[in-house]
Chain A
Amino acid sequence: MKETALQVLLVEDNAGDARLLREMFSKERPDSFELTHILRMSEAVAHLAKGGVDIILLDMGLPDGHGLDTVRRAHAAAPGVPLIVITGLDDEALVAEAMKEGAQDYLIKGQIENRALPRALRHAIERHRMQTETDLIRTQQMEFKDEFLSHVSHELRSPLTAIYQFVTILLDGLAGEVSLEQQEYLGIVLRNIKQLQSMINDLLEVTRVQAGKMSIDLQCTSISDAITYTVNTLQGAATAKGITLTSEMERPLPSVCADPTRVRQILIILVDNAIKFTPTNGTVKVQARMFDADPNFLVVTIIDSGCGISPNMTERIFERLFQTSDPALAGRRGLGLGLYIGKELAKRQGGQLWAKSAPGRGAEFLVTLPVFSLPNLIAPALKREGLREGPLTLVVTEIASQTGWLSDEVRAGQSQGVRDILQGCVQSDLDIVLPKMGSAGATELFFILAITDKIGGAAIAKRIRERLDACQPVQQAGLNATTSYRQIETIKRNGSESMRDFVEKVAAQIQELMNEEISSRMVVNG
C-alpha cells in the first residue's frame, strides 16, 4: 500500500531548533513526510484553518503565544488534528496540563533521539485515530441507547393504557357490581399501574435530559401558585399515610424567572419523595422565602420528619439510578431517577438543588430559583445605549381565540412559535422580547421593549402584524393576532442619578404599563 506523505506543521520560532528537527526528518524516506515550518502562532492558526494538516509539532514558547495558551489556540483552530508539544524544559506539571488541553504527546528539546521523532509522530496519529474512533462509537452507543429507551417507553404506553382503562371500568362498576374485596384488589392494580406509568415517564425524561432535548420556557412564574398546586396534588397521598403536609410562605414573595411546569415538576418530585420517606404521623413542610446567601434567589425548602439521610449520602442521592438501601422501602422503590431529574431541572433554570440532613432528624431539600427582575432584564439594553432619556416604546401583541376560549394546550403550543416570530421582527441587539408576564384571561400577551420612538414602534408593530397574518400555525389554530404599541413617557436620567436607579425607574414604568394591559383584558374577559 502506498502511503501518502504525512503533512506535518512545525511551529517553532528558534531557527536552530527548527533546523535540528528538519534534519531528523531528512533521514526518512522523502515521500513519507512533508514539513511546513511556521514561526508565529497567528500564522499557524491561519494555516490550520485551511486544513490539510495531519499533525502539529508545537513549540510552547513563541513570540505571540506562550505555554498552555499556544496549545489551546492550536487545538481550537484544528480540534481534529493530533498535536505534539515541544518544550525546552523538563516541566512535568506543564506537560501534564498540555496533555489535558488536548496534546497527544510531548518532546523535550535536546533529548530527542534521531529516529524517535518520526516514530512519535506516527504513534501520535495512530493514538489520535483510535481515540476519535472510540469517541464516535461511544456517541453512537449513547444515541442508540437514547433511541431505544425512548422507543420502548413509548411502546409500553399503549398496553398500559388498555390496562388502566379496563381496571377503572371494573372499579367504577361500569361492568357490573364489584365486591369490597374486589375493589381493594383492583385498587392495588391501579396503584401499580400509576407506579409503572411514573417509571416510564422518568425514563423518557432522563432520555431527554441526556440528549439535551429538555424544553424549558422561562417566564415570570409565581412560586406560591406552584407550591399550592403541589400541596393540593399530594395532599391525598399524605393523608392516606397519616402525614401532615403543610406549606409556609413568606409574604410578599417575588416571582421567579422559571418554567411553571418545570417548577411544579421539581416540587412534586421532592414532596412525593418526602412523603415516601416519612413514617405515619410524621410531617412534611414546604417553605418558601428569600435566599439569605443571595438576594437574587428565592429558596424553597422541603422539610420532613422522616429517617433523614446520612451526611455522606446527601450528594449521592442525586446520582442517576441511586437506590435507597432502606429495607422498609425495598418494595416501593422507583427507578432512582426522580432526584436526578429534579436537580437537572433546577440547574437548567439557573437554580440549585441540594439536601441537608442528620440521621434521625429528618431531611431537608433546598431548591433555589432566580428571582424575576425586570430591571435586570432591561439593564443591559439601557446600559449599552448609555441611555439618559427615551425614546422607549412598548409593543404589545395579543393572541386570542376566535371562540373566546384559549386552552393551555394552544397557549403552550403557540407560545414559542409566536416568540420566535417576534424575535425576528426586532433588532435583537437592541430591543427585548420580554418573557411571559403572567396570564391575561382568555388571551396570551407578549411584550417587547423597543429602544425607539413612536415611528420605530409603529414599524415594528407593522412587521409583526404582517408576519403573524402569514403565520400558518396561528391561522390554522383559528387565532386572532393583534399588535399595538405605546410610547413610554419620556424618562430622563438626572445628572446625579445612578444607572441602577435609572434602570429601576424605567422598569417600574414599564411594569405599570404592562399591568394596565393585562388587567384591561382581565376585566373584558370577566
Chain B
Amino acid sequence: MGNKKILIVDDDPDVRQGMYLRLKANHYDAIFAADGLTGMSEARKHGPDLIILDLGLPAGDGFVVMERLKTFPSLAVIPIIVVSGRSGQVNRQRAISAGATAFLEKPVDNAELLAVVRRALGEAAQPENPAG
C-alpha cells in the first residue's frame, strides 16, 4: 500500500516546506498549492486523501475552496484540516460549518498536527512520535 497523499494549501512557501518535511518524515506524500484556485485544481488532479488548508489565501480563500470542493461528489468526501493564523470562535465555527474536520491555530504543535491528521485519515492512534 502506498503512502497517503496530503494536499497542503498555504500561501507561505516556508510554512509549506516545513509542513512537507514533517509529513514526509511521518511517511506521507505531500503536494502543494499556494492559492485557492490552484488548490482546487490540484485536488481534482490528484484526489488527495486529506487537505490541509489555510484560510487567508489569494485567489479564493479557504472558505471558497471548501465550498467549491463540496460541489464535486468525489472531492466532497476528502477530510479537510484548517490550519490558520486566524483564530477565535467565529472563524472556528465558520470553518467547521463549512465542512472542516478540524480547526488548528498557527503555529500548530507537531504532535497535535500529526494526531489530527491520523484521526482524520482514520488511522489507528499511534504512540506520539512527531519526529517520525
Chain B, 80-101, contact with A by CB distance < 8 Å: what is the 0/1 string?
0000011111101101111111
Q: Determine whether the beta carbon of A161 is less than 8 Å from that of B107.
A: yes
Q: Which of B15, B87, B97, B130 contacts A413 (CB 8 A)?
A: B97
> Does B14 belong to the interface (CB within 8 Å)?
yes
Q: Determine whether the beta carbon of A473 is less than 8 Å from that of B107.
A: no
> Does B131 belong to the interface (CB within 8 Å)?
yes
What's the least CB distance linking B78 to chain A, in Å? 12
If A158-B15, A173-B131 touch, whether A405 touches B119 (CB-CB below 8 Å) is yes
Output the nearest chain A residue to B98 by Cβ-Cβ distance.
Answer: A476
Which of A40-48, A124-132, A163-171, A307-315 is found at the contact surface with chain B?
A163-171
> Does A414 belong to the interface (CB within 8 Å)?
yes
A405 to B70, CA, bound (A): 21
What's the least CB distance linking B45 to chain A, in Å? 24
Residues of B within 8 A of A201 (CB): 87
Chain B, 105-122, contact with A by CB distance < 8 Å: what is the 0/1 string?
111101000000001001
Output the nearest chain A residue to B99 by Cβ-Cβ distance.
Answer: A476
Residues of A within 8 A of B90 (CB): 213, 215
Output the nearest chain B residue to A175 by Cβ-Cβ distance.
Answer: B21
Q: Determine whether the beta carbon of B86 is less than 8 Å from that of A165.
A: no
Classify chain B: how many residues form its interface, as a range.
35 or more
Q: Determine whether the beta carbon of B18 is less than 8 Å from that of A174.
A: no
Q: Determine whether the beta carbon of A174 is less than 8 Å from that of B131.
A: yes
Residues of B within 8 A of A172 (CB): 25, 110, 130-132
> Does A241 belong to the interface (CB within 8 Å)?
no
Residues of A within 8 A of B95 (CB): 413
> Does B22 belong to the interface (CB within 8 Å)?
yes
Output the nearest chain A residue to B18 by Cβ-Cβ distance.
Answer: A165
Identify which of residues 191-236 in chain A touch chain B, using a CB-to-CB cut-off of 8 Å.
193, 197, 201, 204, 208, 213, 215
What's the least CB distance linking A409 to chain B, in Å? 5
Residues of A within 8 A of B86 (CB): 154
Q: A168-B22, A204-B88, A413-B96 are in contact. List 15 more A-B contacts (CB 8 A).
A: A154-B86, A155-B85, A159-B12, A161-B15, A165-B14, A165-B18, A165-B21, A165-B107, A166-B18, A172-B130, A173-B131, A213-B90, A407-B119, A473-B97, A477-B96
Instruction: Give me the interface of A with B, judged by CB distance under 8 Å.
Output: 154-155, 157-162, 164-166, 168-169, 172-175, 193, 197, 201, 204, 208, 213, 215, 403, 405, 407, 409-410, 412-414, 416-417, 472-473, 476-477
Q: Which 8 A-B pairs have the closest CB atoms?
A: A413-B96, A165-B18, A172-B131, A162-B14, A157-B85, A215-B89, A473-B97, A161-B107
